[in-house]
Structure 1
Amino acid sequence: MPKATRTLPDFSIESEISNGNQLSVAGVDEVGRGTLAGPVVAAAAVLPGSVPFEYAGLVNDSKMLSAAQRQRSFDWLITWCVTYGVGASTADEIDSMGIVPATKLAMSRAIAALDPQPEHLIIDAVELSSVSIPQTAIIRADSRSQSVAAASIIAKVTRDKLMADVFDTEYPGYGFAAHKGYGTAIHMSALKELGASPIHRRSFKPVRDVLDH
């Protein structure tokens, strides 16, 4: 039996929300919820319309793209978007309030950075009660909506660059450039040897277990 082909995100959700009007719709997504170190980073993006055919394959759930594809997509998106914004919550904020509230805070910061502000939000699986803009939360929106896919790419490339170019230099020995803070075997070995860095999430059980021992 042949494998089902995975369809690419499209602009149909945005079009349905706009309903023929010139409504500004932003996609919102985050990366880094499950890492043991570093911030959770969110992005919001407003597209001028459906992604042109030649770029459609590059505007997808960021997890479905290679690092090179994500970088190429990012470089194009930040020039093509009507507006985009990035927000983050630090490891300290995650430890103090929990990952879900910190994720929502990062998203609200990304939305606040949009200029002009959008008239509607499509958010990947999250509802933001603190944001007054009308919104639609959709499970796996990054694989269905081009605006959310764009936000996922912008957030992923931004966070990966931060982990590789900044934190890997500031806190050498952990391998942040390679694993970006996820709990790989190399990361766990370094954590046991070096202890926690200032960007480790001490409220996360794998980090806490290492510190307790």
Structure 2
Amino acid sequence: MKYLIALMMLFSSQLWAASADDMMVSLQQDWAHIKYEVDEKEREKGFETLVKQAEEALKAHPKSANLMIWNAIILSTYAGEKGGLGALSLVKQAKSLLERSLEIDDKALDGSAYTSLASLYYQVPGWPIGFGDDDKARSYFKKALQLNPNGIDSNFFYGDFLIQQKKKQEAKKVLQQALKAAPRPGREVADKGRKDEIYRLLVTL
């Protein structure tokens, strides 16, 4: 027991000593690994663990807009894996975190908070079940693309939104733009996984 407590204290001290950027990079890489490389049956459990790690990182750096955004992304992805009514409380938490991040730095991570909020608004059911709203989604996508017009994620999610809006030709152009996005150093797994998703969407068009 003493050995276990010592290990936990060591882990805690290492966590709190790490910079917000280092923590974010670790969360990004773990997220990509779970989402794109872990067996589907194990993803929910993986994201459940990652949610806790993200919360600890944010406790260490409570004013980091970047960590708020990544907490929200992880919560949203976990919600998608979990499904059901329990997912709604998770996406509400994610929405709140994204809104807080905008108050701190609305340009953080090239406007990723806008992209993530837009994604929540078009994917979450509308009233009375949830807060989904296509008009708000469209407005947030506009802001996201103003800040990051060539981003792989901003264009991917906007393309998916356009497909749901029955605007297939416009969606095709946006998704092709997403494929032209510059590689993100250290995020090779995420880039490959996202491109695979884009190709799958393009096949449907």
Higher helix share: 2
Fold conserved between structures, TM > 0.5: no
Higher relative contact order (CA 8 A, sep 6+): 1
- TM-score normalized by structure 2? 0.29
More strand by share: 1
